[in-house]
Structure formats: C-alpha cells, structure tokens
A and B are shown apart, each in its own frame.
Chain A
Amino acid sequence: MQELLPSGKSVVTDTTSSILDRAAEAAARATPDSLAKRVRGLSDRMVAWIFIAPTIVLLLAINIFPLIWAIQLSFTNYRANRPNEPIKNIGLSNYSRILTDTDTWIAMQATAHFVFWTILLQTLIGFSLAYLIDRKFRGHALWTTIILVPMMLSPAVVGNFWRFLYEPQIGLFSYVVSFFTGIPTTDIQMLSSVTLAPWAIIIVDTWMWTPYVMLICLAGLRSIPDYIYEAAEVDRASNWRQFWSITLPMALPFIMLAVLFRGIENFKMFDMVNLLTGGGPGSTTEVASITLKREAFEKWRTGFSSAFAIILFVAVFGLANIYVKVLNRVKSR
C-alpha cells in the first residue's frame, strides 16, 4: 500500500491521497506548523491526556484500588459475612498460616502438575499442527477454522459437559476408550479415580486450548522468510537439518510466547476445573483458584484468602518477569 518514491516522499493508494493533494497546495501558503497546531483545536498534550486518562482511571478503580484493598485486608481477620464485627489487625499471621499449611502446598502441587502437563502437551501438539498446516495443503484454511471451534466455548460450560462425557456408564469418553483398549467402561472412572482425575482436567484443557497454541506457532512459522530456506537448499541442507537449525530456532520466540500465555492462564484456572471435578476426588484436582474460592466465598475468611491471593499474584508476577527476560534474550539472538 505504501511505496517510497525516489524523492523520499511517501505515496499511498487509498483515499488519503486526496487529503495529501490538498496538503500539497496548502503547504504553499502554510502557516508555521506550531501555530497551526495551536490555533486549531486542542493541543497535543490535552489530547494525550483525554485519550489516556479514562483507561488509567478505570484500571486504577477496578484493578489497583482493589489490589491495595486486598493487601490491606490480608493483614486482618476480616470476614465478609460478618460485616459488623470489628476488624483486627493480625499482621503477618495470615501469610505464615498459608505458607505452613500442608493443604496450600497440595493445592500448589495440583496446580503445578496441571500447568506443566497442559503446557507440554499443548505445545507439542499445537506446534505439530501448525507445522502440518504450514505445508499449505488444499483446504487448510477450512480445517484450521474447524480446529479453532473448541476455543470459542465458555470454559465453564466445557467443564460441565465434559462431566457428562466422562461418566463411566452414560458418557461417550469411556466407551470410545473401551472400544480401542478393551478395558471395561466401568473401570474408566476419569472423575472418581484419584489417579485419573488430574489427567481428566489435563485432557479437557488440551482439547480446548491446543488451537490457541497452534495459531501462535503458525504465526511464528509464517514469519520465517522463504529466502532463508532457499539459501539452505542451496547449501544442500536436509529437511531435518533445516527444521532444527532454521524452523525451530526462529519459531522459538513464538512458542515461548504461547507457553507464557497458556502458563499464566492455567495458573489462574478456575472455571473449567470447578465445573468438571470441583477440586475432587478429595483434593486431587484442587488447583489454587479453587482453594481461593473456597476460602473466600464459602468459608468467608476474607482476610486469609486475600493473603493467599497476594501470594499467588506475587508468584505469577515474579515468574512471568523472569520468563519475559529470558524470552527477550531469545528474541534478540
């Protein structure tokens, strides 16, 4: 759309050309720029303020003010269902209780297991799909769109209907597995078994979000210019070699980005797991957000849960920071 003429002027081929024509005329009898900006309408400073302020105000009100309030609450024993009781400041005792509580560590373990395996599976499958789609076979656009559909569903609704699919007696999943492996369906208790339940949530999340990773990897693969491959061809590098020394390294920043996004999202995961297993059986799938919800909205230990929320936030923030630094280093290579 935009070309650079030898004279250095830019030319565009759309409707702004008429404006430029008039600009050329006006330039001949133009007043100095600064005067023009000053006398016509609001100054740039004003515009900048008007444009940015509402967003900042909204974020301060809805994100930062509550965060500060949560920090304040975390040092108290406030309970939201007893609004009239006096609030006692109890210092760091909420924090120390959380960090020494075995249940917290079980929840973190369940979360870590979930995050690790979902990222691993989604990255492997997503990248593979992107690579295959990048072969650009006929109809690949259609199939890509079809693969995207699971992503558009509500995670809560997905968790709910996968509960239906996972029922040993009436659900489709156990029958399909039984068909292929011969294990009786009543033994395939995805949601009741302590060993299988963590995999139940991993499977559903992978089903839902692999398309997302695939899209990002696809963007990465498409950003690799053809001439690099052509040069490699000239050097008679094998496909395998090309993949390892060109494709993978150049797609790596994108892959890492997908990992970052999915990692943050799955660390915060609540909807799908809550409706699929509710954290059970026992506490085997009780990821951090579910523990948080139970503490805050069922036991109404508002102060305590605020402390837990702050700890989670700091953890994610810290990890994300480190990761982004690594990512930037990879990109600059």
Chain B
Amino acid sequence: MKSTLKVSFGLAAGLAASTAMTGASQAEDLTLCWAAWDPANALVELSKDFTAETGIGMKFEFVPWTNYADRFLNELNSKGKLCDLIIGDSQWIGGSAENGHYVKLNDFFDKEGIKMSDFVDATVVGYSQWPKNTPNYWALPAMGDVVGWTYRKDWFSNPDLQKEFKEKYGWDLDAPKTFDQLKQVAEFFQNREIDGKKVYGASIYTERGSEGVTMGVMDVLYSYGFKYENPDKPYEMEGFVNSDKSVKGLEFYKALYDCCTPPGASNSYMGEGVDAFKSGQVAMHMNFAFTWPGLQKDEAVGGEKVGFFANPAGPDGEQFAQLGGQGISVVSYSDKQDAALKYIKWFANPEVQKKWWSLGGFSCLKSVVEDPGFAATQPYAQTFLDSMAIVKDFWAEPSYASLLQASQKRFHDYVVAGQGTPKEALDGLVADWTEVFEDDGKM
C-alpha cells in the first residue's frame, strides 16, 4: 500500500508541477500583491511609468482587506510563488522576517544609496525594521497610513446647530480635540433629524473577523495612557496593559459604542464606516487616512462638506493614533528578485514619490511630506502630517496574529456583546498575551 501511495503522490506532484510550469508568466513580468483599495488603483497608474522606463510589465493581485491577511499570509506560509513583490501589512514584519518570507534589504539599500533616514522615522520603524529599533530592514516604506477622523463640516457650520450646541455644552462646535469633547459632539448629533433623515453621532470600528475593533479601541486606549509593556522590562504587561487608565479608556469606547453609533454597527470596519459617512448617517467617522482622498472627491459629502481632524487626546493630555500603512518587500520565494529590486529602487525615487502622493498614495518620503508646500496640496494633508507625528503601532511580533486574535475577542466580547467588565477584559488580555509569549519562548 505504501508504495502505491508514494507512486500516486509522485504522479500527483508531477502533474501539479507540470501544470504550474505551463502556467508560468512571461519572461519579465512582475506580480505585485496588495490589498484591493483605492491606493492600489493609484499604484497601477503609477507603475505604468516603471514599465515605460524599464520594459518590465507589472501584474497585480489585489485582495479586499477582509481577506488580505488570510490570503497572503497563507500564500507566504505555503512558500507560494504568486507574488514577486508584496506590500504586506506592518504587523507582518516580525513573522515574515523570522520565517524567511522577505528578502533582507540592507545590502541592496547600501548598494543603491537608498537611505532610511530619508523616510519619516515612524514609518521606518513601523514598516521596515525587525527587530524594532535595530537597523535591519525588510521593506521600503510604501504607504503611510494612520487612523484619523472625518466630520461633516457643513453640519458643524450650521448656525442653528452651533447655537444649540454652545448653549448645551459651553464651547463652540468644532472638530473635537479631546475624547470627552468628541463624545459630547456625538451625543449632540445622535438621533437628530437633519434634512429629513435621522442621523447618528459617529461610526467607529467594531469589526470582529480581522482586526477592526482592536484598531479602533487602541486609538482610544493610546490616548488614555495604555502601554503595551514595561519600557524597562520587555513583555511585562501586568499593570501596563490593564492599568486603571486603560480600563477607563476601554470603558469609554464601550460607552461611545452604546450611546452614539448607528444601529446595527456591530461589525463595522473601514468599508462600513465609509458607507455610513457617505450615506449621510453619521456626523463623524473614524477611519484610516487612505479613505480621505475618496471622501474628498465624493459627490454627496465631499469638497466643502467634509473636514478632517487627528485622533483626539485623552483626559491626561496624551495623544496618539493607531499606525496603519505598509512597506513594500521582495518575496524570498520569487524567481525574479533582481527585477523586483529594480522596482523598489524606482519606487524610492523622490520624483516618483511625489507623483505617488499626487495620485492618492501616501508617501513616506521626508522630502515630500516635509516640503513647505505640502500642507497646501490637499485639505487633509495637514491632518495627515499631524497624525503621523503621533503614531503608535500594535505588536509586530511573529506571533502577532495570535496576539491580535486575543485582543479582537476580548474587546469585541466586552464592547459589542457587553460581557464582563473592562477590567476583566484587560486582565484576560494580559493572560492571553502572556500565554502567547510563553509559547514563543519570549517569557
């Protein structure tokens, strides 16, 4: 029986290999893998220049965010050859570096004179380095992104609403600077009739399946004083993850969800938020900056109607925002690494980066974003700059997926399903994360 098995496996493998080879792409064509979103479309446009310059054709494989991690982590773990270049999420750096999915770029950068100091520091640390804060580079920062907020400027400028708001709360209705202010604004708009339709306060992240609720909760927790670990003792989380400040922050997020969000928003992430804002359901909405160009251009709520503000500060004045964004890496299983590296070199060019920003991509190159005229290029440019200055990121450990799953479960169970207390949720999270690190041998 065993030999029959071996023979059949051999046959199957042979057949599979031959089909794979006949399906192989043309000589010099690179496949770039990313998420299916507006910036990806902009990159397709931009890459036409690369093809014109080098003659190397570009093919793209885009997957919606909801499946992005699943699909491409699967691909990398299967040592797949689908992608030559991949714009992987910032949290994948640890795993991809340690498991050999990405090509280390230090030598290439040195050879081509690409300096990491030319890029915004937070993006280098966030998208490129592993281990963090060491000069080991696994990606070129490609797409800067951070969570911020949009609001309906036209509603905020309505004189009647301004008067009513001032009477009730004592300050002028404007983009909130602290979370307490944000809640007041949200309460003000909740269930209000505007233009004949009932509207709601804010749309916030509550998605369970991938990373939504964690990204949302962290925005509040960071500003309330949450820390991942003891700065002096790595991986010590007790008293930092579940500090009193963190508990207050988590409590706030749930209160905001309960009081001031549209009905049925229990599984809401980037797409649902955009829909809620565009359809005129909410006064404010929390989302990654990449959504801003699209909203700015929107017929219904764009132009003068939309305003932007950075993630507000907490009660103690701390202000942080959750980092998004990705770096572009070369997949180590690719057969076309030289061509792929050419693309990276081309992409790092300041002129290309400038065009990237103008097409809707968020460049991380200092010469683009620190240019004096930058803030004037787009209405959201200043908010983007302000937000990138206050970023903090989730764990980028190789086991980040387990850490993320734990926080997804704890946060969603408490915020959306109302189970337990915030202290219990955070204590449970410390226990979960400890278990993961112990499994990893880091504790």
Contacts and interface: CB of A to CB of B under 8 A. Distances in A.
Interface of A: 57, 60-61, 65, 77, 80-84, 167-169, 186-187, 189, 191-192, 194, 277-284, 294, 297-301
Contacts of B413: 282-283
B20 interface: no
Given A57-B4, A60-B5, A81 B99 contact: yes
B376 interface: no
Interface core residue of B5, B77, B266 (most chain A CB under 10 Å): B266
B405 A278 contact: no
B417 A299 contact: no
A interface, over-half SS? loop
Interface string B240-269: 000000000000000000000011111100
A283 B412 CA distance: 8
A284 B1 CA distance: 46
Given A61-B5, A81-B73, A278-B267, 11 more contacts: A61-B9, A65-B5, A84-B100, A169-B263, A169-B264, A280-B267, A281-B417, A282-B416, A297-B70, A299-B401, A299-B405
**Candidate in B263, B416, B419 with the most chain A CB atoms within 10 angstroms:** B263
Nearest to A295: B405
A282 B257 CA distance: 14
Contacts of B401: 81, 298-300
B355 to A, nearest CB: 36
B183 interface: no
Contact of B418 (A60, A82, A194, A300): A194
7 tightest Cβ-Cβ pairs between the two chains A and B: A282-B417, A192-B266, A168-B264, A186-B263, A282-B413, A280-B208, A299-B402
B439 to A, nearest CB: 7
Nearest to A186: B263
B398 interface: yes
A191 B99 contact: no
B95 interface: yes
Given A61-B5, A281-B266, A192 B77 contact: no
Contacts of B73: 81
A280 B4 contact: no
Interface in B106-140: none
Contacts of A65: 5
26 contacts: A61-B9, A77-B439, A80-B77, A81-B401, A82-B398, A84-B99, A169-B264, A186-B264, A187-B263, A189-B264, A192-B264, A192-B265, A192-B267, A194-B417, A278-B208, A280-B208, A280-B412, A281-B267, A281-B416, A294-B405, A297-B70, A297-B74, A298-B401, A299-B405, A300-B77, A301-B402
B55 interface: no
A57 B99 contact: no
Most buried by B among A61, A168, A192, A278: A192
Nearest to B98: A82
Nearest to B76: A81
A294 B408 CA distance: 12
Given A65-B5, A82-B99, A282 B412 contact: yes
A191 B405 contact: no
A105 B216 CA distance: 29
Contacts of A168: 263-264
Nearest to A174: B264
A134 B121 CA distance: 75
B224 to A, nearest CB: 22
Interface string B55-89: 00000000000000010011001000000000000
B209 interface: yes
Contacts of A283: 409, 413, 417
B424 to A, nearest CB: 13
Interface string B330-369: 0000000000000000000000000000000000000000
A189 B266 contact: yes
B378 interface: no
B25 interface: no
A189 B263 contact: yes
A210 to B, nearest CB: 26
Contact of A280 (B70, B266, B405): B266
Contacts of B421: none
Contacts of A57: 4-5, 8
A140 B77 CA distance: 53
Given A80-B77, A189-B266, A299-B405, A278 B8 contact: no
B1 A60 contact: yes
A300 B8 CA distance: 29
A305 B398 CA distance: 19
Contacts of A83: 77, 99
Interface in B1-39: 1, 4-5, 8-9
Nearest to A81: B77
A252 to B, nearest CB: 40
